Amino acid sequence: MTLLDGKATSEQIKLEIAEKVREIIARGGQRPHLIAILVGEDGASQTYVAGKERACQQVGFDSTIIRYPDTVDQSTLLDKIREINSDPNVHGLIVQLPLPKHIDEQLVINTIDPSKDVDGFHPENFGRMVLGLPTFVSATPFGIMELLERYKIETSGKKCVILGRSNIVGRPLANLLSQKGYPGDCTVTICHSRSKDIKSITLDADIIIAALGVPEFLKGDMVKEGAVVIDVGITRVKADNKAGFKLKGDVLFDEVAPKCSYITPVPGGVGPMTIVSLLKNTLRASGN
């Protein structure tokens, strides 16, 4: 069993991005600048946005966090997005999700200029991704594809089962893994909350991607010998430590890992790859 070390791989990619930033600055170019809008006090969202800001600093990007209370008006948020859209000194804009219930999330996403939508959530970018056109691919699917590529994992003709059909992970991944060429050409099945007999489906899979947000859902007896398992889950569960919680993946690691050819740990697997994919998209948005 080989661990797919997202932490080490992401550190390598950050070095590559930092080198590119040095080249940009040396030739008098503009430093890539990412703005993150954070609404409310959700602990997980605050942690994710802080992680994105730290990663920007590590590679030499400018980064700005704009914070609003969870009572903010939708119109205030939309006006701020329009202002950023027309600011030539900002290259990437993300609005951390989820948003409070009184705000129309899709309208917010639709308001972001597609050329600054480094999350790849705007319908134009999502559509381009489905068509296989150059675009911003959402960070988590992009990071997973890069991890498969960097570890040279064979995908052609493989049976790939994705657990979860979210717009952020399951659906885009199903598209990417079924596209022509490496790392694609998979035969893809999506399972979701209405799927029946999931165990018989995962038992037949060469590659399993668990992205349903149910801690330790995938057990040892649901996985065949030699499978590749990618764990996207990061649920906070109460723990007797300083933070008061620990992160649990969607995979029961101790049971599943011994059967795998490759597996991602949680933490240190998909999470760090997601962040560097956002950096790659921001670099691209800055015209580099």
111 binds ligand GUN (CB under 6 A): no
| Beta carbon nearer to ligand GUN, 21 or 39 | 39
Please, is 151 exposed, middle or buried when counting C-beta atoms within 10 Å of its C-beta (0-12, 13-18, 19+)?
middle
Annotation says 119 is catalytic: yes
Question: Rounded distance, CA 246 to CA 173, Å?
Answer: 26
276 binds ligand GUN (CB under 6 A): no
**Range in contact with ligand GUN (rule: CB under 6 A) among 89-97, 173-181, 191-199, 254-262:** 89-97
Contact 191, 208 (CB under 8 A): no
Contact 37, 74 (CB under 8 A): no
Please name the residue that has the structure tokens 């022509």. 180
| Beta carbon nearer to ligand GUN, 97 or 203 | 97
Please name the residue that has the structure tokens 């109460």. 238
Annotation says 224 is catalytic: no
Question: Rounded distance, CA 239 to CA 245, Å?
Answer: 4
According to DSSP, the β-strands at 33-39 and 245-248 are unpaired
139 binds ligand GUN (CB under 6 A): yes
Q: Which of 63, 96, 111, 155 binds ligand GUN (CB under 6 A)?
A: 96
**Range in contact with ligand GUN (rule: CB under 6 A) among 79-87, 94-102, 254-262, 265-273:** 94-102
Give the count of residues interacting with ligand GUN (CB under 6 A): 8
275 binds ligand GUN (CB under 6 A): no
- Tell me the chain's radius of gyration from C-alpha atoms: 19
Q: Please measure the distance between the N-terminal and C-terminal CA atoms of the chain and give it in whole angstroms.
A: 37
**Position 235, amino acid:** T
According to DSSP, the β-strands at 187-191 and 159-163 are parallel
Q: Which of 84, 94, 186, 223 binds ligand GUN (CB under 6 A)?
A: 94
49 binds ligand GUN (CB under 6 A): no
Structure tokens at 288: 């580099």
Which candidate in 5, 80, 117, 119 is catalytic? 119
Question: Rounded distance, CA 144 to CA 124, Å?
Answer: 22
| Beta carbon nearer to ligand GUN, 35 or 256 | 35
**Range in contact with ligand GUN (rule: CB under 6 A) among 5-13, 55-63, 88-96, 196-204:** 88-96
- Shortest distance, position 208 Cβ to ligand GUN, whole Å: 21
119 binds ligand GUN (CB under 6 A): yes
**Range in contact with ligand GUN (rule: CB under 6 A) among 12-20, 90-98, 179-187, 214-222:** 90-98
Q: Tell me the helices (H) and strands (E) count for the chain, helix number first.
A: 10, 11
Tell me the catalytic residues. Answer: 52, 96, 119
Q: Which residues bind ligand GUN (CB under 6 A)?
A: 94-97, 119, 139-140, 168
